[in-house]
Structure 1
Amino acid sequence: MRMRGVALAVRWLAPLSALLTVLFSDTVGAAVMMLVCLATTIMWRARLPAVLEVTTNLVLLVAAWSSVFLLYERFAHWDLVVHCAATAVLAELALRALERWGRLRAPSAVAHVAVITSLGAVLALLWEFVEFAGYALVDPRVEVGYLDTMGDLAAGCVGSLVIGGLGYWARRREGTSARVPAGVAGKTR
């Protein structure tokens, strides 16, 4: 019950952050924070485990505030840390969504890690497309280039690989596996 209270408090950080950036930051910072609000709402409505919801919300808030406070420009490898962490939690969310929609059954250890790493690679690639669009359409100060893109993709894949292994271990430790929604178990594809 206590973790649910923490989740509720963290949920409110997103709209508060959006309000603060609207009042005290630029349009780009406010837009980024609005995206975090959207993600927070989606995670709340998805009824995720509280620990996953809190972790994901905090990672996305750190990523957004890092942009507002120009931490990516100030610290050489901060971008890689954020790509690693954010891609990891988003890949885990994507896996949970596939399970909930009945598109994925409880995978073996190797398959679990492979699926999350693959999801992370796709998400990292999409993130890079969005970064390039931000550079081309919104703000030419957005860092793009071959080395930046390859580093970001590698960080996202590493984060997904790590969370794949940790996620499988955590599920086995809890004695749970991927839930197969009712009515899906008997279906053939």
Structure 2
Amino acid sequence: MIRTLLRAPQGAGEVAADALRVLAAISIVVAGIGWGPLSGLSFVLVTGAMFLPRLLGVRPSFDIVFGVASLAAAWSSVLDIYITVRWWDLPIHFLTNGIWAALAYLLLVRFGIVADAATLPRPAVSAALMTTALGLSLGVLWEMFEWFGHNFIDGEIYVGYTDSIGDLLIGGVGALLAGCSMRYLAARPGVAHDREPSPVVE
């Protein structure tokens, strides 16, 4: 995976994804100077997370969507768009929960923590269920973070029962959609994926 991370980008898609990572790094400085250290720190975390798709060698299209969604979510928070446009967090939760759940699933599979759905009797169903479960779990963690932020960091962070349930619901739908698309998302460029899994030697 380190070799994948360090190699030069190949094709326009990978160049675009790397450009988004550069934009995220620039955002650390811009947000830190313009909106304070906490805003800068949020982009440090986003920038680090945006290297995960490259580390895993996912499709450039997935990498680009991950980068765009992560940057949009972070800048929406810094610019208080979630407060001024109350419905805006719904499409953001739908998109980010889906792609983060898909990435979490790929990470867990790559490190051998969960089974690769392709090796199971019902691969499509298994991937969809696992990704949805991960998406809902990530959604709960995010709502806990928002509660913590509201109570201990910034009281302007909006929290509420209806808002939390709506966010979890729409995020779960996004994760389900990502799980149903996992056959495409899990495929690595230039690698055949229709072969049967190698038999297990007893």
Instruction: Specify the TM-score bucket, using the shorter chain as the normaliser.
Output: 0.7 to 0.9
Aligned residues: 184
Tell me the equivalent position of 2:183: 168
Normalised by the length of structure 2, the TM-score is: 0.81
The question of 1:150 aligning with 2:165 is answered yes
**Which string of whole-angstrom CA distances, capped at 9 and with x for unpartnered residues, describes residues 114-144 of structure 1?**
1111110111111111111111221011111
The one-letter amino acid paired with 1:143 is Y
Tell me the equivalent position of 1:98: 108
1:108-123 to structure 2, matched below 5 A, reads: 108-123=123-138
Compared CA separation, residues 167 and 23, structure 1 to 2 (3 A): same
Compared CA separation, residues 11 and 170, structure 1 to 2 (3 A): closer
The one-letter amino acid paired with 2:132 is T
Measure how far apart 1:20 and its partner are: 0.5
| Residues 100 and 179, structure 1, Cα contact 8 Å, conserved in 2 | no
Q: 1:26 aligns with which of 29, 36, 52?
A: 36
Compared CA separation, residues 89 and 177, structure 1 to 2 (3 A): farther
Tell me the equivalent position of 2:17: 7
The one-letter amino acid paired with 2:124 is A
Compared CA separation, residues 92 and 53, structure 1 to 2 (3 A): same
- Distance across 2 between alignment mates of 1:138 and 1:160: 29
**Which string of whole-angstrom CA distances, capped at 9 and with x for unpartnered residues, describes residues 161-185 of structure 1?**
111123336669x9636998x9xx7
Q: Alpha carbon RMSD of aligned pairs, Å? A: 2.6
1:67-146 to structure 2, matched below 5 A, reads: 67-102=77-112, 103-105=114-116, 106=118, 107=120, 108-146=123-161
**Which string of whole-angstrom CA distances, capped at 9 and with x for unpartnered residues, describes residues 75-109 of structure 1?**
12111111111110000001111221123121521
Normalised by the length of structure 1, the TM-score is: 0.86
| Residues 11 and 40, structure 1, Cα contact 8 Å, conserved in 2 | yes
Compared CA separation, residues 146 and 38, structure 1 to 2 (3 A): same
Runs (5+) with no aligned partner, structure 1: none
Measure how far apart 1:25 and its partner are: 1.2
The one-letter amino acid paired with 1:17 is S
- Distance across 2 between alignment mates of 1:47 and 1:132: 34
- Distance across 2 between alignment mates of 1:97 and 1:124: 18
The one-letter amino acid paired with 1:176 is H
Tell me the equivalent position of 1:42: 52
Compared CA separation, residues 164 and 178, structure 1 to 2 (3 A): farther
